[in-house]
Structure 1
Amino acid sequence: MQVKSMDWRSEHELEEERLALKYHSNSNVNPQLEVLTRSRMKMLNQLFAQRNVEVKPAKCYFSSPSFGLQKSELAEHPFMMKLLVHLQELQVQSRPFLDYEPLRELGGAKLDGPELYIFSRSPVSGRHELFYCNPAEMVVQRVKETDPGIWNRMFHSDLIQGTAEAAVFVTAKIQSSMKLFGERGYRLSLLEGGRLTERLSQCTHKFGWKFQPVATFYDRAVQELLEIDGHSEVVLSCMILEEVQ
């Protein structure tokens, strides 16, 4: 009798294996990618030079200032505003790990910290919108408005209630941290993501909100909402928040 085997590996893993068979172990991407990247960066340097803008080497390919929303623009989401204001206070009080600075200087590269995505329901307009927040700079940006039906695609019906105010996702670029700093970068991403989740939990306790951490969300729906691939950037934790009257 012929026994059929099932391959449970992800599409990314299968693609990496296919590329590994085509290129050597240190070249699992298109060999021309580095050449193209250098060429494009050279063109950008020339463009900024023509505009008399000072170009500062950051040892990373993409580095641009972020422009956040004003408080008046977030008035429709008072729940999220209170959450971020208190989170900012806790961010100032928190201290980095003792070996964080030596680790950052070791590679001389930009070390990405955890990031926040907040899916919020506006009590004013009833709209469901996704926001991005960089906790290091506390810059908030509106990503998009989306269908409220996404709740049912992301979470099991037993987990969500009609009064849920927001879902908060903590993400990290683990793949790039590992390439830059190896296992140290991997551990730092996980630890910083855990610390950020703990601070968010403290915010909910201060205001008496209902805080529900979730581990069994549906990955594909969440990745579709956040517009991440689940490989270079992954979700470390997820929380459903509800304001108790």
Structure 2
Amino acid sequence: MTIRSIAAVPEAQEPWAPAFQWHVCDIGSRLPRGWVDQLLDIAARRGSTRDFRPTVSTAREENPAEIPMEAVDGDILAVEAPWLSEMYAGAFLRLGGSLTRERVHPSPDPRIALSLNVLRGAVRYPCHVDSNPLQGLLYLTDCTADSGGELAVARNPCARNTDEVDADCVLVRPQAGQLFFFDARRNPHYVRPLRSPDTVRAVVTMNYYSDSCPESTRPQGLDEALFAARPARLAGGGGRHGRMSGAVGA
């Protein structure tokens, strides 16, 4: 397993600090055999789509129109893929904690702890900032310059929408089996749409908290928007898993 730290350097900033920094861990070969197919199969069987209206305080959207979000909630993952929950609270926690100055904690609520997010075709993920001090992203699929689905992260903490993010951003193009850790509480970010209608982008998201930024600081209304905005619709699209060429993100 390898770990890399990457920083997007600003032109000028006092005191000096990277505009955005992330850590990449190559862990795919250390996970259970067939883990990608297993999680994609769970997404095909148990995934649901909710219409998310980005009006909470962490949203960075110019138009608060509903955006469809396809996901498998963490309570389902805890039953269908218990190894993932165990690693979230064990090996992944230790790995992420080794990269931070402050001790981090897992969430006891499986829905907040984990989510398997899926994008298909022209759908994008909402533009937002994180409320948790450490975000983990385990990618199931690849991302290339041709595929779309990049994670676009603003260097400017004042970016208010996707256009302002795109004006000066870091583009993250992960590969399947990579685990990313970062703190994006000050960096608005979103996932760009895929360029092919039959391509699938899938990522497991993990929320970690700390004593100075506990789970109780989650924005008011966020959980209601994520889990109970509307009755969930069964997810679907494009064959068993869709075409798995290049795309993954947060």
Using structure 1 for the length normalisation, give the TM-score. 0.24
Structure number with higher strand proportion: 2
Structure number with higher helix proportion: 1
Q: Which has the higher contact order (CA 8 A, sep 6+)?
A: 2
Using structure 2 for the length normalisation, give the TM-score. 0.23
Larger radius of gyration: 1
